[in-house]
Amino acid sequence: MNWSKYSAPQAFYPLAGRLIPWFAVVAVALMGVGLYMGFFVAPTDFQQGESYRIIFVHVPAAWMSMFLYVVMAIWAGVGMGLNARLSFMMAQAIAPTGAMFTFLALLTGAMWGKPTWGAWWVWDARLTSELILLFQYAGVMLLRTSIDDMRRADRSSAVFSLVGVVNVPIIYFSVQWWNTLHQGASVSMSTGSKMAATMLMAMLIMTVAFWFYSIAVILARVRCIVVERDSLPVWDEKPAVIQEAVEAR
């Protein structure tokens, strides 16, 4: 199989269409298993009771939010380096999903925080970095929508994603450092007790489930982007290829 063939959006379109159902099915199945393990199999935490079980959503969502930002930045970088349209489309498609996971992580973090610390929001290093990460996702998407010229929109948001990827670890470090200074507000998020094997297992399964979910959703969104961009008269010269793509659907 010649992989480079699929770097062209027209060729990628039908391939993505064939792959999406598989990723979606695996995502749903794994999510079912992971949630069952998390909510019914994993033992009750002797300090936090049942409320800790939100971590089976919270932690994988937080991991995905950071992971997806890095992946988005990599696609943006590849797009800049190779001038590849599909890479920019991938970066564009990843942003909303990444932002969604960031928001999910913040929401579940607040839900966990209320019974655990007695407050919906604490300025913990991880929560604060997630919040800033959400702002950066918002920045990438807003910059893209404010620019009409597609090529400039692609490249400008790519530059911003790449700058942001340098910033994320610095923010994490700086907020952690800031917390050690302000002892009063400092809260440790680690559960203290050793994590049971089933808990870890459930968390990993949920992470893989989110991963497959992300791939399915992102591929679907890339397909939308391909249609959206290429229905423009830009590809007038290559109507045959478009026809083929539409038929394959």
CA distance between the termini of the chain = 21
- Shortest approach of other proteins to residue 220 CB, angstroms? 25
- Shortest approach of other proteins to residue 139 CB, angstroms? 5
Residue 173 to residues 99, 115, 124, 232, Cα–Cα distance (Å): 21, 27, 12, 45
Of the candidate residues 143, 201, 204, 241, the single one contacting other proteins (CB under 8 A):
143
Q: Does 28 bind other proteins (CB under 8 A)?
A: no
Q: Does 91 bind other proteins (CB under 8 A)?
A: no
Number of residues that bind other proteins (CB under 8 A): 36
Which 55-84 positions form the footprint of other proteins (CB under 8 A)?
80
> Which is closer to other proteins, CB of 122 or CB of 175?
175
CB distance 65 to 130 below 8 Å = yes
Instruction: Please state the three-class secondary structure of 104-136 as a single string.
Output: HHHHHHHHHHHHHHCCCCCCCHHHHHHHHHHHH
Give backbone dihedrals phi and psi of 45, rounded to 5 degrees, phi first: -75, 130
Of the candidate residues 66, 91, 127, 171, the single one contacting other proteins (CB under 8 A):
171
Q: Does 139 bind other proteins (CB under 8 A)?
A: yes
Which residue's structure tokens are 């990460």? Answer: 133
> Which is closer to other proteins, CB of 13 or CB of 172?
172
Q: How far is Cα of residue 180 from the mean position of the Cα atoms in its chain?
A: 29
* Residues that bind other proteins in the complex, under the rule CB under 8 A: 80, 132, 135-136, 138-139, 142-143, 146-152, 155-156, 159-160, 162-164, 166-167, 170-171, 173-175, 177-178, 181-182, 232-234
